Amino acid sequence: MTRGDADSSRARVGPVAPVLELHGVRAGYGQIEVLHGVDLSVAAGEVLALFGPNGAGKTTTLGVCSGQIRPSAGSVRLMGTMVNGARPHALARAGVCLIPEGRGIFPNLTVRENLRMATYSGVAYARVEERAFEQFPRLAERRTQLAGTLSGGEQQMLAISRGLATDPALLLLDELSMGLAPMIVAELYERVGEMAAAGLSILIVEQFAQSVLGVADRAAVMLGGRVQQVGEPESIAAALGGAYLDGH
Amino acid sequence: MSPNASDAVGRAERRDTAADVPRRRRTPVPVRQAVVLSGLAVGAVVVSAASWAGTPVTVGNVGGMVVVGLSLGAIYAVSASGLVVVYTTTGVFNFAQGAVGMYWAFVYWELRVNRGWPAPVALALVVLVLAPLGGVLLDRAVMRRLRNLPLVLQLMVTVGLMVAFMGIAATQWQGDRGRTVLPFFGHTGSFEVIGVTVTWHRLITILVAAAIALLLRLLLFRARLGVAMRAVVDSRSLAALNGANGEAVSATAWAIGSSLAAVAGILIAPESQLVVDVLTLVVIDAFAAAAVGRMRSLPWTFAGALLLGVGQQFIRRFLSFDDGFANMHEALPTILLFVVVILLPQAQLRARGVSAQLARRTLRLTDVKESTVGVAALFMLVLAWTGGTLPFTDAWSSVGINRGVTMMVTAIIMLSLVPLTGWAGQVSFAPLAFAGVGAVIFAKITGDTGSAYGLVLAAALTAPVGALMALPAVRLQGLYLALASMAFARGFELLFFTQTAVIDPNRGGRQFAPLSIGGWELTGTGRGYLLALTVVFGAMVTGLVALRRSRWGRRWVAMKDSEAAAATLGINVIETKVAVFVLSAAMAGFGGALFGLQVGTLNVLQFELLVGLPIVLLLVVGGVSLPAAALFGGVNTVLFIVIKDRWDYSWLSALEVLGPGIMAVVMVLNPAGAVAEIGRGFARFLPWRADARAAYAAEVAANREPEPGELGLSRPFTAADMVATERALSVANELARPGHDGAAAAMTVERPAP
Ligand SMILES: Nc1ncnc2c1ncn2[C@@H]1O[C@H](COP(=O)(O)OP(=O)(O)O)[C@@H](O)[C@H]1O
Ligand SMILES: [Mg+2]
C-alpha cells in the first residue's frame, strides 16, 4: 500500500470516515490474549488521549494500529480501509507514524542518519531535516553525533521529529513522557500541540493524564485490555485520579 | 548480584520490542582489540625467532611476501566482509559463506572453461546475477525462518547448508578431474616493480578488494539502503516503523553476501585448487578475519584479513617448521580465530525472539525403565539381524557386520554431544577431534595387546583434553563457542594428528589387536564386536537417561536456559560447564577408541573437521537433546552409505554429505527433531502412556473443524467456531460483520471495491 492509496481512499470515503477505527479488536502474544475486544476511533484532525495503568494493553493497541501485531479478531480501519494484517512498513508508508515506547531512535546511527530513515515515508530528506531542526534547534547542533550519545530528552526529540516532519496521516505517540524531566515533556507536547492545531490526527498514549490535558480533544481509559470509558479529557482525568493515580 | 543479573536478562530479551539501550562501551573496544593484536604480534615474533629458516631478507623476498600476502588477504577480506554484512543486518552467521563461494567458483569454471564463455560475460553473470539471486533465494527459503529458532539450530542449519553446498558441488562436478581456472591474463601476465614480480591477477585481486571496501563504505554510509541496513541492526521493528521493509533489507544483505562470496571464490580458485573441500576451507579461513572485526566492523575485518594473508606468506617464506608442523601456514587462520574469539570482548549476542522461547514445547523425559526396555529391544533386533533371521538381511556378510559396527560407533560418538549440546547448550563441532584423541591413546597404550583397560584409559585420558577446550571456552556462548570449537577441531587436524609421534603415516598394517575381554576375542569387524557395541551403546543411553534426571542433568539444562539465572540459583557455572565438556570428551574418546578397533589403522583423514560435521548434523536432525537421536543419526549415516552402495547412480555420489546437509537445512521446518516427532507418533501405542493418548486426542479435537450440526446443540458457539464457519462458507470479507465479536474473519488487507 502506498501513500497515494491511503489518500485516495480518504477522498472516496469522504470526511465522515474516522482516520483510525478499531472494532472489537482482539490481539495478544502467542497464546496469551491481551486485548479482549477494543473499540476506538480517532476522527480527522482529532487528538485522542488513551490512558491506562501499566499492562493495560495500550502499547499492544498501538502495535495493532501500526501493523506490528496482527489482530486475531476484529477490524482495524485506516481512513475507511481495512488494514488487518498489513505489514508495519507498508502502514508507515501509508502515513501511520508510531513513535514507540522508550527511545524510538537508532543509537548507532547519527542524528542525520536517523532523520534519513524518516524519508522512507516519502518525504524528501531536505524537508525532513529542515522541519526537524526548525522544531528542535538543539538537534541541528548535534547532527553528526551518534544518536545513542544524545541525552534522553534529545533522543525523544529526535524520535518524535520523525512524526512531526513527515506529515503523517496519523501520529501514534507511546508514553512520550516516560523517564523525562517535566520541562522537556512540556516542550515536547508544545510541539505536538502545534501540530495538532495544524490539523494532524493524533493518538496519544500516556499513563498520567496531566501532561496532555492541554492537547487532547477527547480521552479514553483502557483497563485490562478493553476501553472502559471515553469522554472529555478533564472529566476522564478526574476519574482517573480515583482509579489508579495518587494525586498526579 | 541476583536482581541485576536477572534484570539484564530481561532487558536483553526485550531488546527488540522495548527501547534500545544505547551502547556506550564504544571506545574501549578498539583499544582492547589493539592490545590483543599486539600481544599476538609479540607471540608471533617469538615463534618466528625460534623457527627462522634463514631465507635472506631481500627486497625481492619481502616484496613478494607482501604482494602475494596482500592478494590472499584481499580475498579473505572480500569473503569476510560478506559474512559481516549479512551477520550484522540479519543476525545470522552464515557458516555456508565459504561453501557458497566455492559453489560459484565452480559455476564460473563451468561457464568460463567448460563452455568457453568470455571471462567478462561469465563473471558478470555469476557475480552480478546468479550469486545475488541465489542469496535472495536462500533468504526466502531458509534464512528468514531461522530468526525465531534457538541459536543451536540457527548454527546447525547454516552448517547444514555448507555441507549441502559441498554435496551439491561434488554431485554436479564429479571427481577431481584436475579442473583449473586460469588467473586473469594468464600465468605469465605480470610486471615488475623494484625487482618484485606482480602478476596481473594479484594486482586485480587487490584492486577488487579495495573497490569493494570503498563501495561497501559508500553503500553503508551514503545510500539510504545502507543506512537502513545499519538501522536494522539497531532495531528491526523501529526500522519497519520508519517504513523500511526489513525483509527487503535482509534480502539485499544476502544478495550482497552471496555476491561477495562468489567474488572471493572466483579470485581464489586460480591460486588454490578447484576442489570442493580445499576451496571451502580456504574461504572458511575468512572467519578469522571477521572475528578480528568482532563480526561487525568492516575496517577491522579488512585489517584482520590482510594480516592473515601476509602472515601466511611470511610463514611460508621465512620460517621452517618440523614435519609435524608443516601445515603451520595453513593453520594460521585457525590459530588466529581461536585466539581472537577467546580474547576479544564479544559483541553482545542478539536476543532471540521471546515468543519462540515461550512457545517452545517441553519434551517429556524418558525414564530409566522405558529406556531399558528400548535398549533390550534394540539388542534383540541386532541379535536377530546378525543371526540372519530377519528375512531381508544377508547380514552375516562381513560387509553388513561392518556397517552395523559403523552405525554403533558413530552413534556412540554422537552420544557425546547429547549432554554437551543437547542439555547444556554448548555447541561443539569438535567431537571427532576428541574421538581421534581417544583412538590415538588407545592405540598407544594397549592397542597391540587388546586389553580392554585401554578403552577405559582412552576415555579417562581424553577427558582432560575436553577440559583444555572448556577452560578458554567457559566465557564463550553460542556463535563464538561454535567458532572456537571449529577452530579447535581444525587445529587438531592440522597440527596434532599430523605429528609422527601421534599418528605415524608410514606405519601400515593393523595398529589394534583384537579386543580380549574375559577370554573372548573380539575383532573390530566381527559379529561379537557388534553385539558388544550394542550392549555398550545401550548402557550409555540408559546411563544418560539416568544422568538427565540427576542433579547434574538439571544443572546443565538450567545453564542452557540462562547462565545468569543459573548463577543466581547458586550453580557454579564454570564447574558445571567444564564438567559437561569433560564428560563429553571422555565419551567421544571412548567412541574413538572403539572406532580405532574397527578400522585397524589410523590416519589423519579420519578425524578431519569436515568429516565430523555430518555426524554433528545428523544427531541434531534427530533431536540433539535425546539419546535416542544418536541411534537415529547412526542409522542414517549407514543408510546413506547403503543407498549409495546399492544404487550406483552418479547423482548419489556425494550422498553422505548431501544427505545430512539437506536434512539439517530442512530442520527449519521441524525444529523439534525427527526422533521427538517419531516418539510422539508412537508413544500413544505404548500401553503405559495414557498421557500420550490424551494429548493425541486433544490435538485431534483441536484440529477438527466444527461440524455445523453439533454446534449450538451439544456445544456452545465460540468466536473460533464463528471464524471457522464463515471461512468454510467463504463469506466474503466485505460481508463479514466487523462489529460482531470475533466474527470478522478478515485477516488480510482488504480494499474497497473500485
Ligand atoms: N512481547 C510480549 N510477550 C508477551 N506478553 C507481552 C509482551 N508485551 C507485553 N505483554 C503483556 O501484555 C500486556 C499488556 O502490555 P502492554 O500493551 O505493553 O501494556 P501497557 O503499554 O498498557 O503498559 C501485559 O500484561 C504484558 O505483560
Ligand atoms: Mg506501554
The 3 state secondary structure assigned to B293-306 is CCCCCHHHHHHHHH
- Burial, B696: exposed, middle or buried (Cβ in 10 Å; 0-12, 13-18, 19+)? middle
Index of the ligand 1 atom closest to the CA of residue A61: 17
* Ligand 1 pocket mutation pick from B11, B15, B17 by most atoms within 8 angstroms of CB: B17
Residues in chain B: 754
pTM across the whole model: 0.82
Three-state helix/strand/coil letters over B697-716: HHHHHHHCCCCCCCECCCEC
How many angstroms separate the CA atoms of B748 and B753, rounded?
15
Residue-range domain boundaries for chain A? 16-95+170-175+201-248
Task: Check B239 against A105: CB less than 8 A apart.
Answer: no
CA of residue A57 to ligand 1 center, whole Å: 6
DSSP 8-state symbol, B139: I
Three-state helix/strand/coil letters over B305-340: HHHHHHHHHHHHHHECCCHHHCCHHHHHHHHHHHHH
pLDDT of A90 strictly over 70: yes
Question: Which candidate from B233, B242, B746 shows the least CB-CB separation from A118?
Answer: B242
Among residues A216, A133, A211, the alpha carbon closest in space to that of A175 is found at A211
Q: Counting one residue from A and one from B, how many pairs have CB atoms under 8 Å apart?
A: 156
Task: Check B355 against A30: CB less than 8 A apart.
Answer: yes
Do A21 and A41 touch, CB atoms closer than 8 A? yes
pLDDT of residue B718: 63
pLDDT of residue B352: 39
DSSP 8-state symbol, A146: B
Helices B527-548 and B628-646: crossing angle in degrees, nearest 10, is: 150
Q: For ligand 1, say whether the CB of A224 is within 6 Å of any of its atoms.
A: no
Q: For residue A80, name the pLDDT band (cuts at 50, 70, 90).
A: confident
Do A227 and A220 touch, CB atoms closer than 8 A? yes
How many angstroms separate the CA atoms of B721 and B705, rounded?
8
pLDDT of residue B215: 94
Q: How many CA atoms lie within 13 A of B13 on its CB side?
A: 15
Average pLDDT, chain A: 86
DSSP 8-state symbol, A96: E
**Vertex B571, ends B570 and B577: CA angle to 5°?**
160
Which amino acid does the sequence have at B472? P
DSSP 8-state symbol, B95: T
- Burial, B273: exposed, middle or buried (Cβ in 10 Å; 0-12, 13-18, 19+)? middle
Q: For ligand 1, say whether the CB of A177 is within 6 Å of any of its atoms.
A: no
pLDDT of residue B272: 80
Q: Which residues of chain B have pLDDT under 70?
A: 1-30, 32-33, 176-177, 187, 344-364, 388-396, 701-754
pLDDT of residue B539: 93
Where do the H-state alpha helices sit in B223-285? 224-234, 236-242, 246-268, 276-284
**Which residues of chain A lie closer than 8 angstroms to B233, CB-CB?**
108
How many angstroms separate the CA atoms of B725 and B717, rounded?
10
pLDDT of A247 strictly over 60: no
Grid coordinates belonging to B238: 523501529
Q: Which of A93-102, A203-212, B100-109, B521-530 has the lowest mean pLDDT?
A: B521-530
Domain A16-95+170-175+201-248 architecture:
3-Layer(aba) Sandwich (3.40)
Phi then psi dihedrals of residue B336, to 5 deg: -60, -45
pLDDT of residue A204: 94
- Strands A96-99 and A170-174 come out as parallel
How many angstroms separate the CA atoms of B753 and B575, rounded?
67
Rounded to an integer, the average pLDDT of A19-30 is: 91
Q: Chain B contact for A110, CB < 8 A?
A: no
Task: Check B242 against A162: CB less than 8 A apart.
Answer: yes
pLDDT of residue B107: 95
Rounded to an integer, the average pLDDT of A123-132 is: 93
DSSP 8-state symbol, A229: E
Task: Check A148 against B740: CB less than 8 A apart.
Answer: no
pLDDT of A44 strictly over 80: yes
Residue-range domain boundaries for chain B? 60-280, 367-610, 710-754
What is the residue-wise DSSP string for B26-58?
A: TTHHHHHHHHHHHHHHHHHHHHHHHTB------
A 12-71: CB under 8 A from B: 12-13, 23-24, 26, 29-31, 37, 66-68, 70
pLDDT of residue B9: 34
CB contact burial B634-644 (16+ within 10 A = b; e otherwise):
bebbbbbbeeb
Task: Check A30 against B744: CB less than 8 A apart.
Answer: no
- Burial, B660: exposed, middle or buried (Cβ in 10 Å; 0-12, 13-18, 19+)? buried
**Which residues of chain B lie closer than 8 angstroms to A37, CB-CB?**
741-742
Q: Tell me which residue has its CA closest to atom 3 in ligand 1.
A: A29
CB contact burial B342-363 (16+ within 10 A = b; e otherwise):
bebebbeebbbbbeeeeeeeee
Name the residue of chain A whose CA is nearest to B15's CA.
A102
Q: How many CA atoms lie within 13 A of B307 on its CB side?
A: 22
E-assigned strands of A54-95? 73-78, 81-82
**Vertex B292, ends B289 and B294: CA angle to 5°?**
115
Index of the ligand 1 atom closest to the CA of residue B355: 3
Name the residue of chain B whose CA is nearest to A152's CA.
B22
Cα torsion at B742, B745, B750, B753 (round to 10°)? -100
